[in-house]
Structure 1
Amino acid sequence: MSYEEFISELGKAGLSVRKFADLVGMRPNSVSNNAKRGQVPTHLAVIAALLSELGAHRIPIDPIFSRLNLTKSAKKPRGASAVGKFGGDKQGRLELLP
């Protein structure tokens, strides 16, 4: 599914990218980054199409998603560096020869 079709499906469901991302436990930027590729991953396309159908039949989606008890994934941000770490990973000490 193209990104434009995806946005159209979300519109039919009465959803913004932000609301869709919140429902499926993603960050809005992760969803909108698909615009650069021009295509949406299959799993997101299927969800958007199903939500669009629910919207067309005036079936509310909030009770469905609240029943699922979804939580945002606890992914660590990439590139979270600190002293002694590179990209969030602990680094061993490099001993240099004299």
Structure 2
Amino acid sequence: MTYKEFTRQLGKAGLSVTEFSELVGMNRNSISNYAQRPDVPSHLAIIATLMGEMAEKEIDFRGVIEGIDVKPKKARGSTPSGAQPCNGKDN
């Protein structure tokens, strides 16, 4: 799915990219960066399409998703809590 189609599906759902990112626990920039690629990942395409279809059929997807304990994804390159970054040397 192209980014343009992805955002069209979000529009059907009444969502902006920012609102979508908050619902699914992702960084907004991580999602908007897909505009520079040929396609968005299939899992995001599926979620956006389901949200668009549910909204079209007047099914409340927000309540369902907000009821899930979604843990925000950690930024790439971040270290786990309490871990020391690797300096390339044996400790």
TM tier relative to shorter chain: 0.7 to 0.9
* Counterpart contact for 2:23–2:66, Cα < 8 Å: no
CA deviation profile, 1:40-62 (whole Å, cap 9, x unmatched): 11000000000001110111222
**Identical amino acids, percent of aligned pairs:** 40
List structure 1 runs of 4+ shifted beyond 6 angstroms: none
Unaligned 5+ segments in structure 1 are 81-87, 94-98
- Residue 78 of structure 1, CA deviation: 2.9
Report the number of matched residues. 85
Instruction: Name which structure has the greater RCO, CA cutoff 8 Å, separation 6+.
Output: 2
The one-letter amino acid paired with 1:39 is: D
Aligned position for 1:85: none
Aligned CA distance change for structure 1 residues 79 and 11 (closer, same or farther; 3 Å): same
Considering only CA atoms, is the larger Rg found in Structure 1 or Structure 2? Answer: 1
CA deviation profile, 1:18-60 (whole Å, cap 9, x unmatched): 0111111100000010000031110000000000011101112
Superposed CA RMSD = 2.0
Unaligned 5+ segments in structure 2 are none
Structure with more strand by fraction:
1
The structure 1 residue matched to 2:86, chosen from 68, 84, 90, is 90
User: What TM-score comes out, normalization by structure 2 length?
Assistant: 0.82
